[in-house]
Chains A and B, each alone.
Chain A
């Protein structure tokens, strides 16, 4: 355990040094080559992860049905084949963690997986057991990221997470919120506490985070995970039967899912967006946003105007 900790600390030190001295932490590289995966640096260490991950809210909560689990396995396999990294879940998501573990056991190649889950309990003392239970469900030795779900009992949980991180059972720690809730409290925690990641809602319709959370995350050197990138699916009805405007070619966009996702991951403070899907075809559409150019600020403003005018 001690050796592992030493190796981990050395790796972290190396990443930190690289992160501090090399290119700007949040370069969006709008001119990325078509075949290159878009990756983002985790500010705390400089480690790079793909800018698209996968959420599991609702989509992976399929209970014990083997038929449905096999379909999710196909989605997860395609996600990793296409260069995806972060898989995000929570004890709140019903059977999702168990289904993820079931799928991971059946995948030959799990390279690139960045395991992220949460503690979700109003009792600070039970966070430790949730971490252990999650590790058993996912069948992983340690989590890349452990977050505090919806800031529930965050003060007590943060101590537990820091302890687990110090012991090498967690690599990064973070806090989450969603649906635009509790931004003020999140802001206070971001300003006062030492964290690696924050997760909140941001999309082309819900841009409240642009005002304070995203700039603060950048200022504090926090990785940013974006949930509800499609506003819970609510963005697609807005563009149903509408053709993509011609100017989307400027950022290599070929469908509406990529339009919405590229808007998010082109924000300089965003580390990773985590769309959720239960269909392979949708996963393929989403993951297309991980390649090609990203919209520049001028185009991003045009994207917002376009959607607001609908």
Chain B
């Protein structure tokens, strides 16, 4: 099995995509860093407000990835992209609902392991993933960044979802499905860094779904 495009073409088009949407790409990354920092150092009084921001940010990111990255950029390269776009948009709609719902989602790490993994995944999505690609020799202008490109956004998403007291299980379906896509791409494009994407997402999903319910630390 092969993908219908090469890694070189993907990163060249990522360069065009980043240049075209530069203000959005940079704003999305900065906002992600801000929300991550607030989530990891959240305050009791602001918790509800932060959780709405978190869900709202993830919703906007998913909708953006679905429409701009998958439909607008990738659909001309890959016949599967419209299906992926539909999944990302579906996730965006669900997250929008959670961000607006009166009950919404509640912040609160369920364990120190969840906090550690969440921190690690957020750092990986925002900083380490692009650094690895830079070290591999990709131009900084073509780096896929959290908030606007699917792989780092999926990792950021599971990292942030781990910061929820009771993360809705349905929200893990897309990251898990995306882990399968990333794994297949890693194999077919011989791009080892994408295996880390798979490991990151799967470990977060396993922890979120199967961790024993201890006393949740909530704010």
Contacts and interface: CB of A to CB of B under 8 A. Distances in A.
B4 A68 contact: no
Interface string A84-112: 00000000111100100000000000000
B73 A63 contact: yes
A151 B142 CA distance: 38
B177 interface: no
Interface stretch (A54-62, A185-193, A209-217, A301-309): A54-62
Contacts of A232: 2
Given A58-B6, A61-B5, A95 B12 contact: no
Interface stretch (B40-48, B74-82, B100-108, B121-129): B74-82
B9 A92 contact: no
A95 B79 CA distance: 10
Contacts of A67: 12
A243 interface: no
Given A63-B73, A94-B79, A58 B4 contact: yes
B184 to A, nearest CB: 16
A63 B4 contact: no
Interface string B123-156: 0000000000000000000000000000000000
A64 interface: yes
Nearest to B13: A63
A129 interface: no
A98 B2 CA distance: 20
Interface residues of B, dominant DSSP? loop
A2 interface: no
B9 A68 contact: yes
Contact of B13 (A58, A59, A65, A93): A65
Given A62-B9, A65-B16, A94 B4 contact: yes
Contacts of B76: 63-64, 94-95, 98
B79 A61 contact: no
Interface string B87-106: 00000000000000000000
Contact of A92 (B6, B13, B73, B79): B79
B196 to A, nearest CB: 24
A61 B77 CA distance: 6
A94 B13 contact: no
A98 B12 CA distance: 18
A61 B2 contact: no
Given A57-B4, A232-B2, A95 B77 contact: yes
Interface string B1-23: 01111100100110010000000
A211 to B, nearest CB: 24
Interface string A215-248: 0000000000000000010000000000000000
Contact of A62 (B2, B12, B73): B12
A198 B126 CA distance: 50
Nearest to B4: A94
Contacts of A65: 9, 12-13, 16
Given A94-B77, A94-B78, A63 B2 contact: no
* In the complex, the 5 A-B pairs of residues with the closest C-beta atoms, listed nearest first: A94-B77, A95-B76, A94-B4, A61-B5, A63-B76
Interface of B: 2-6, 9, 12-13, 16, 73, 76-79
19 contacts: A57-B2, A57-B4, A58-B4, A59-B6, A61-B5, A62-B5, A62-B9, A62-B13, A63-B76, A65-B9, A65-B12, A65-B13, A68-B9, A92-B4, A92-B79, A94-B5, A94-B78, A95-B77, A232-B2
